[in-house]
Amino acid sequence: KNNQETFHIGFSQCAMDEWRETMNKEMVMTAALYPDLELTILNARENTRRQQLQIRELINNKVDLLIISPNESGPITPIAEEAFEQGIPTIIIDRKINSGKYTAFIGANNYQIGRDVATYIANIHNGKGRILEIRGMDGSSPARERHNGFFDVLKDHPNLNVVASMEGKWLPDNAREVAEEVFSEEQVDIVFGHNDVMARSAREVANSMGIEDLFVVGIDALPNLGMKLVEEGVLQASFIYPTGGKKAIEIARAILIDEPFNKQNILGTSVVDSTNVTVLRLQLEQVIAFQDILVKQTSRIRQQEQQFNDQRSLLNIALIS
């Protein structure tokens, strides 16, 4: 590839929610730093079949590199392998496929997060309590791994009992139904929702049923969502689940221009609760304010470039005639 050439990156995003929008935004902002990158995002909106078709579309459009966040591991594996085997560098982000046939993976360790949640709950509750677990979509790797990590630690805590573990499919409405069903049958002290929006649903149901003594833990901790919910006391804790959007574009570029990169890129995580949420939010608000400035500056620079190019072509016309 010569200097003038543009690399076309195709991203197959599996779902549409605030966490996904944050990932997309990180990718768009990072790609904007490199004039040689062009990014197309197709969103499957929770539909695995649609995602298969969208990945096919990106392959047919001959993207130079493919990024996939698989809705469900099993059904997305064959098409991801196919792209890789055709020689398209393929980055898997956040959710996994059931294969090693990809170029790089970026994401947090969901098994460890599940373990961290259980350890955190055990410490705060002195190893005692009745738990409702609301799982993500069972076909997706973070749901399986968060569940396994959680249960592996609970084995050491015989007085922490999971009275119900049900699938909420990552979605607040499904989680609401789960909570309504379980709360009307069982006494629950602790809810572990595999993400913050499902955890919030459990709190809302509890409130509407007059259940007060409830400890609710979620995952994601986005500054304007999960962290806010922790600050408001809707959730007692959440675990930061970084989207990896920025890292994905950086690795994509390294792959495309033949620079070194790691195949496995594991992102860190950390608990957010009443002890640290205020300072975290304050600091993040500053970062977000600066991001906004950067976005505005970037678009101004673009405008100026455009004006400059317009003037140059006017000048050329003047010189020719």
CB of 156 to ligand FRU, least distance (A): 25
Which lies closer to ligand FRU via its Cβ, residue 148 or residue 278? 148
Which lies closer to ligand FRU via its Cβ, residue 7 or residue 105? 105
Interface with ligand FRU by CB under 6 A: which residues? 15, 17, 19-20, 94-95, 136, 140, 142, 170, 195, 219-220, 241
Residue nearest to ligand FRU (CB): 195
Q: Is 21 exposed, middle or buried (0-12, 13-18, 19+ CB in 10 A)?
A: middle
CB of 235 to ligand FRU, least distance (A): 13
Which lies closer to ligand FRU via its Cβ, residue 31 or residue 134? 134
CB of 182 to ligand FRU, least distance (A): 20
CB of 19 to ligand FRU, least distance (A): 4
CB of 202 to ligand FRU, least distance (A): 14
Which lies closer to ligand FRU via its Cβ, residue 136 or residue 139? 136
CB of 145 to ligand FRU, least distance (A): 10
Which lies closer to ligand FRU via its Cβ, residue 64 or residue 145? 145
Which lies closer to ligand FRU via its Cβ, residue 52 or residue 195? 195
CB of 30 to ligand FRU, least distance (A): 19
Which lies closer to ligand FRU via its Cβ, residue 74 or residue 187? 74
